[in-house]
Structure 1
Amino acid sequence: MPGRSGTRTDYYIGLMSGTSGDGVDAVCVHFDEHGPRVVLAAHSYQPYPEPLRQRLLALMVPGDNEIERMGALEEELAEIFAVASSEVHRKAGLAASDIAAIGSHGQTIRHRPRGPHAFTVQIGNPARIAERTGIATVADFRRRDMAAGGQGAPLVPAFHRWLFAHATRARAIVNIGGIANVTVIPAAATGACTQGFDTGPGNALLDGWARRQTGEPQDTGGRLAARGRVDGALLGLLKDDPYFTAPPPKSTGREHFSSEWLDDRLQRLGRDLDGADVQATLVALTADTITEALAPLAPEEIYLCGGGTANPVLMAAIAARLAIPVHTTARLGLDPQLVEPTAFAWLAREAQAGRPGNLPSVTGARHAVVLGALYPA
C-alpha cells in the first residue's frame, strides 16, 4: 500500500528517455528485497511534442550552433521530466514527500566512449526537476563510470542481475530500444561475472526509415517490413561495420548508427530498393546482430524488453534465429516497456545508499563506483 502523505517512504520514480527520442517513460515503484521483486505503483508516459522531437533528433548528430540549441532543449526537457514525475506519483496516490528520489537518465544527445577524451552528454536539467517536483533527483549516471575508465554504458545490467538472476540457469536480457543491448547473467551458483554490451541498432534505424517512407514515427506492427524482402547485398554492407566485430566492452548511439550511416550504405549499393525491402533488411540487421552477439555467450533462457517488443516482425525474426524459446520480461514479472525506467529508479536507490551501480565486467571500468549526482529537493 502506498505510504502516507507527508511520510518519506521507499518509493522511487524512474525516468527513461532513450535513443528513440520519442518521449519519457516514468514509473513509480517500490523494491522488495524478498524475492527480489519490483512493486509497480504507477506508470505514465509523456510524449515529446513533434517540433521538440525534431530539434532533439537534429541535436543527436553533429551540426551548427549546438551549444545554444542544447541549452534550450536542456530546460524544455527538464520541464517535461518534471511533469512526468509529478503525474506518476499522483497516479500512484502518493505525495511528493512520499518519494525517496527520482532517478533520471536524461536524454542522450552524444555518446563518445572511446578515444583520449571520451565523453557522454545527457540533457534534462536535474536541478530544475528537483525544483519543480520538490523531490530529490539523482542524474548524470554515466560519467562517473567513464571517469573510472568505463564505457558509461550499458548501465542497466546491474539491475538486470539484481532482479532477474536465476540460481541454476544463465539468462540473457535483451533490451531493444533505439540501440539494442544484451545482458547475460550467469547462474548465481557459478559465481561468474555478468556480461553486457550494446549490440548495435535496435529501433533507431527502423523508426527513421519508417518515418521517411510513411510519415509515421515508427513502423507500427511491423507492417512496412512485412511487405518487404531482405536484400542480401545491402545487409552485407550494413553488417560490414567494424563495430559489430569489435570485442566488448563497447557501447554506441545515434551519432554512429544514424540516417546518414544508412544513406551511405544505400548509395554504395548502387541501385534503388523498394522502401519495404530496406525496412525488412533493417529488421534483419537488428535480429542478426543481437543473435550473433548472444551465440558465444550461450544463455539458457532469453527474455526481451524495450520498444522493439511491440514489433511482431522483429520479434519473429529474432525467435527464428535462436534455438531456444524467446519470451519477454513479462514472464519474469516486469512489463518489457518498463524495465529501463525501473532500472533508473533502482540506480537512484543505490546511489542514495552509497552502493556502486556499475558492473566493471560490463562497462570496462577499473572498479565499481557509485553512479549519479544528487540534487536535493
Structure 2
Amino acid sequence: MNKYITKLSEISSKPKRMIVGLMSGTSLDGLDIALCVCDANDIKVKQFRSIPYSGVLRERLSGIQSREVTNTRELTLLHTELAIYYAEAVRKALMDWTVPLEEVDLIASHGQTVYHAPAQTKTDLNATMQIVDGDHIAQKTGIITISDFRQKHIAAGGEGAPLAGIFDEAVFRHKTRHRLFINLGGIANITWLPSRESGKEVVSGDTGPANTLINEAMEKYFDQPFDEDGKVAASGKVHSELVRYILLEPYFRKPLPKSTGQEEYRLKYIEELMQGYGIECSGKDLVTTLTSLTAQSISRVVDEIIKDEPFECYVSGGGVHNRTLLKELRERLTKGEFKNFDELGIPPDAKEAAMMAYFANDLIAGKGSVIPGVTEQNIHFGKISLPW
C-alpha cells in the first residue's frame, strides 16, 4: 500500500490536525498563508502572512484571468509556476514560524481563479477554473495537499461559489444571535446566519463587485493597485446616476443564492455604460462612485433578506482596509452592530485561507456539508495530491 494512503488514515484519526490554508483571490493581491489547527468542531489560526504578488506576476495573471480569449501557453505555464511559488512560500513561512514540515498534516490550496462561468440559462452548464497544481505543491513540500475545492460543488449541482456560506454556518452560526458576514474580495459575498434557535434558513451568495472595479480604476487613473485606506474614494463625489444605471443590470435583481465574477464586471463594461448614457466622470469621482456601488449593492441585498432584525456584522477580505467603503456600509446597515472579526479567533485577512483549511480537514476527517438548495446529502470538497 502507498505509505501516504496509510498516513492519510492516521491523519484522519487524529483529534486535531495542523493544516496550512492557501488563498489567492480574484483581486490578485497575493498569496495568503494561514497556519491552522483544526478539529471536528473548531478551527484556530495560529500564524498568518500575506505575500504580495510582484507587479510582473500580477500583470501576467491579469492577462489570463476572466478573459474569453487567452494565451493557452501562458495559462499552462502559470498553472505549474504558481504551484512552485506556493510551495516555496509555504516552506519559507514554516521556517520563519519554526514549524517543521513534518508537523504539518495537510496543505489546503484554493488556487488562482482564472474563469468563473455560472449558468446564464437553464440549459447552460455551471463551470469554474482554478489553476495551481496540487501535485507540484505536494511534491515540493512533502506534505499531502488538498486542492480544487470548487469542482465538487459544481459536480453536485451548484455554481462553484460562494463556498463561504457553508464555512460560515459550520464555524460561526450562533445559538441566540443573528449574524451577517460580509467578505470584500474582488467580488463581494454575504452570509446571513439567523440564530440557530430561530429556525430560519441561512442565506448566502455573491452580491456583485467589491474591489475588482475599484482596483481597475486605480490602476488606470492613478497607477496604483488599490485604493489604500479608501483615500481616493474619500476625496471624490458619487455619481448617483451612474450607480443607478449599473444597479439596473439583471444580476442585481436576481435573488440569492447566486454567484458572479470579474467576467461580468470589468472597467471596460462600466466605461461602455458611461458612453452609452453620455456620462462623464473624473478618475477620482469614478473610484468614489464604484466604492459606493459596492456598498449599495450589498445593502440592497441585506435589506431584502434581513428586514428589521438587529444583527452582529463581521467584515473580512481586502476591502476591510478601505475605510471609506466601511463607513458607507455602517451608514447603510443601521441595524448592524459592526464587530471586530478577530474576536472570532480568525484575523479578517486570513478568513478565506482558513476556510480552505476547514474544507481540507472536513474532506479527511469530517462528515461533509450540505449545499443549501442543491443537495440533501453531505458533500466533501477537494482533491487529494500525494507527495510521491
Q: TM-score, normalised by structure 2?
A: 0.90
5+ unaligned residues in a row in structure 1: which ranges? 1-6
| Structure 1 residue 155 corresponds to structure 2 residue 167 | no
Corresponding residue for 1:165?
173
Amino acid at match of 2:353: P
Question: Which residue identity is paired with 1:368?
Answer: N
Q: 2:344 matched to 1:356?
A: no
Distance in 1, matches of 2:214 and 2:343, equals 26
Superposition deviation, residue 354 in structure 1: 5.2
Partner residue of 1:11?
18
SS in 1 for 2:276: helix
The structural deviation recorded for 1:358 is: 5.2
How many pairs does the alignment contain?
367
* CA distance in structure 1 between the partners assigned to 2:62 and 2:96 by the alignment: 30
Partner-residue secondary structure (3-state), 1:42: strand
User: For each residue in 1:199-229, what CA deviation from the matched residue of structure 2 results, as whole angstroms up to 9, or x when unmatched?
Assistant: 0001111111011111111011111111111
Determine the C-alpha separation between the residues in 1 that align with 2:199 and 2:146.
30
SS of residue in 1 equivalent to 2:218: helix
Offset, 1:368: 3.2
Match of 2:270 in 1: 262
Cα distance in 1, alignment partners of residues 51 and 264 from structure 2:
27
Does 2:43 match 1:27? Answer: no
User: Match for 2:137 among 129, 138, 162?
Assistant: 129
Give the match for residue 148 of structure 2. 140
Q: 1:270 to 1:194 in 2, by over 3 A?
A: same
Once residues 358 and 134 of structure 1 are traced to their aligned partners in structure 2, the CA distance between those partners, rounded to angstroms, is 32
CA distance in 2 between partners of 1:211 and 1:246 (Å): 30
Instruction: Return the match for 1:372 from 365, 382, 388.
Output: 382
Match of 2:82 among 77, 80, 93: 77
Q: Deviations over 1:168-190 (max 9, x none)?
A: 11211110000000011121223
- The partner residue of 2:259 within 243, 251, 272 is 251
1:4 match: none
Aligned to 1:176: 184
2:346 to 334, 337, 357: 334
Residue 275 of structure 1: CA displacement?
Answer: 1.2
Conservation of the 8 A alpha-carbon contact between 1:41 and 1:92: no
Secondary structure at the counterpart of residue 205 of structure 2: strand
Deviations 1:91-147 (A, max 9, x none): 332222211111111100101121523211000111111111111111111111111
CA contact (8 A) 2:43 2:358 kept: no
Letter in 1 for 2:59: Q
Tell me which moved more, 329-338 or 129-138. Answer: 329-338
Residue 70 (structure 2) pairs with residue 62 (structure 1): no
State which drifts further: 107-116 or 86-95.
86-95
Say whether the 8 Å CA contact 2:64–2:70 is kept in structure 1: no
Partner SS, residue 348 of structure 2: coil
Bigger CA drift: 340-349 or 66-75?
66-75
Task: State the partner residue of 2:201.
Answer: 193
Which has the larger displacement, 308-317 or 55-64? 55-64
Deviation at 1:11, TM superposition (A): 0.5
Query: How many Å separate the matches in 2 of 1:303 and 1:354?
Result: 26
In structure 2, C-alpha distance between the alignment counterparts of 1:342 and 1:112, rounded to whole Å: 25
State the match for 2:5 in structure 1.
none
Partner of 2:94: 89
Q: Distance in 2 between matches of 1:166 and 1:63?
A: 42
Matches within 5 A, 1:255-294: 255-294=263-302
Equivalent residue letter for 2:23? M
Deviation track 1:146-175 (CA, whole Å, cap 9, x = no partner) reads 111111111122221222111111211110
- Give the Å deviation of 1:46: 2.2
Q: Is the 8 A contact 1:350 1:356 kept in 2?
A: yes
Structure 1 contact 182–197 (Cα < 8 Å) conserved: yes
Task: Give yes or no for contact 1:347–1:357 (8 Å, CA) kept in 2.
Answer: no
Distance (whole Å) between structure 2 residues aligned to residue 99 and residue 193 of structure 1: 36
Q: 2:207 aligns to what SS in structure 1?
A: strand
SS of corresponding position for 2:224: coil
Cα pair 1:155 1:357 within 8 Å, conserved: no
Greater CA deviation, 295-304 or 341-350? 295-304
SS in 1 for 2:105: strand
Q: What is the identity percentage for the equivalent residue pairs of Structure 1 and Structure 2? A: 32
Deviation at 1:279, TM superposition (A): 1.0
Match of 1:314 among 300, 325, 329: 325
1:119 is matched by which residue type in structure 2? Answer: A
Unpaired runs of 5+ residues, structure 2, are 1-9
The 2-side partners of 1:371 and 1:229 are apart by 44
Following TM superposition, by how much is the alpha carbon of 1:367 offset from its aligned partner in structure 2, in angstroms? 4.3
Give per-residue Cα distances to partners, 1:312-365, cap 9 Å, x unaligned: 00000100001122234123332111111001011110011253245324xx35
Matched, 1:323 2:323: no
Q: Does the CA contact (< 8 Å) of 1:28 and 1:92 recur in 2?
A: no
Within 5 A, what are the aligned runs for 1:193-272? 193-272=201-280
Structure 2: how far apart are the matches of 1:87 and 1:148?
Answer: 37
Distance 1:183 1:90 in 2: 35
Tell me how far 1:48 sits from its aligned partner. 1.6
Quick check: 1:32–1:39 contact (8 Å CA) kept in 2?
A: no
